[in-house]
Amino acid sequence: MIKPTLGILAYLEFYLAARDVSAHYVATLRRRIGLFTQWVGDVPLVDLSCEQANGWLAHVQQSVGRRTAYDYRAGLRCVWQAAYDDGLTDTPPLRLRKIKKPRNIVEAYTHAEIAALLAHAEKLTGRLKDGNRRADFWQAAIHVGYCLGARRGDLLLTLKQSQVGADGVISFVQRKTNFPVTVRLSEPARKFCRRLRGESLLPWPHAPDWFSKSFKRLRKAAGLTRGTFCWIRRSAGSYAEREQPGAGGRLLGHRCERVFRAHYEDRSITQSQPVVPPPL
């Protein structure tokens, strides 16, 4: 039985154990609650107060900015609300400092930038540890990433060659959201995937975090100064949205259109022409 005298940092482990969350989420929440306890001490749940928390949030906002403070507030509030729901504190987190989250300016790769990535990938030499040619892998990764608009975790860890139909259609359940999507690989994407040996659609013989570092090197060598592999996912959604309103969120597998609008829509792609009313 959890006692109200337990500190919030210790209670966090009970909170995490009761939820099906990713390792990244676990590490992030531990770090955020750890920083809170460094500021106020490992406060017993029964002694949590908004005055203490608001002092910390004000310090975070002043030190590292509003966006980070907003995220830290959200993490603290989740754990605190759970403790209140469990009856371990009589103080709900209702008077936490209000922080307005700044809106992101979403950027994605243009078709010209993706073409530059593909042109450099074609010139790559050497092979990966599994024997696949680096040129084949990265051309496949860029084409598949654009066609499917999928997250890196799905591309590298979930999708198999056997899931692709003869017409290029592939259906899968997203690891992050557990939401199904049905999409189609282009002929160039299928061509490069067929050159790769292995059961995975994109066989990657290194640690997943090495993928981002490798892509960064490829991007710089291609002459691009901005962006990550995630920008290809944004590109896929933004160009699909430009072709057909509502298609961007469907391609990326969003159940809520607001997610696409806030985090994936590059308006310089979807709204390349200014909106004007009809003439008087």
**For 64-115, how does the pLDDT look when each residue is reduced to its tens digit (9 = 90+)?**
889 899 999 999 999 999 999 999 999 999 999 999 887 778 999 999 999 9
**Structural domain span for residue 24:** 8-85
Residue 177 pLDDT more than 90?
no
The enclosing H or E element of 253 equals none
Residues 64 and 117 placed together within one structural domain of the fold: no
Residues 81 and 182 placed together within one structural domain of the fold: no
Q: What share of the chain is helix, strand, coil (3-state, %, to 5)?
A: 55, 5, 40
Residues 122 and 232 placed together within one structural domain of the fold: yes
Q: What is the mean pLDDT of residues 213-240?
A: 96
Could you give the number of structural domains in the chain? 2
pLDDT tens digits for range 131-174 = 999 999 999 999 999 999 999 989 998 999 999 999 999 999 99
User: Is 44 within a domain?
Assistant: yes
- Report the predicted TM-score, pTM, of the whole model to 2 decimal places: 0.77
Residue 23 pLDDT more than 90?
no
Residues 229 and 144 placed together within one structural domain of the fold: yes
User: Is 23 within a domain?
Assistant: yes
Residues 157 and 264 placed together within one structural domain of the fold: yes
Q: Let me know: does 116 contact 223? Beta carbons within 8 Å.
A: yes
Residues 120 and 70 placed together within one structural domain of the fold: no
Residues 216 and 264 placed together within one structural domain of the fold: yes
User: Which positions ≥6 away from 156 have C-beta within 8 Å?
Assistant: 200, 202, 204, 208, 211
Residue 198, domain CATH: 1.10.443.10
Give the span between the Cα atoms of 190 and 168, in whole angstroms: 7
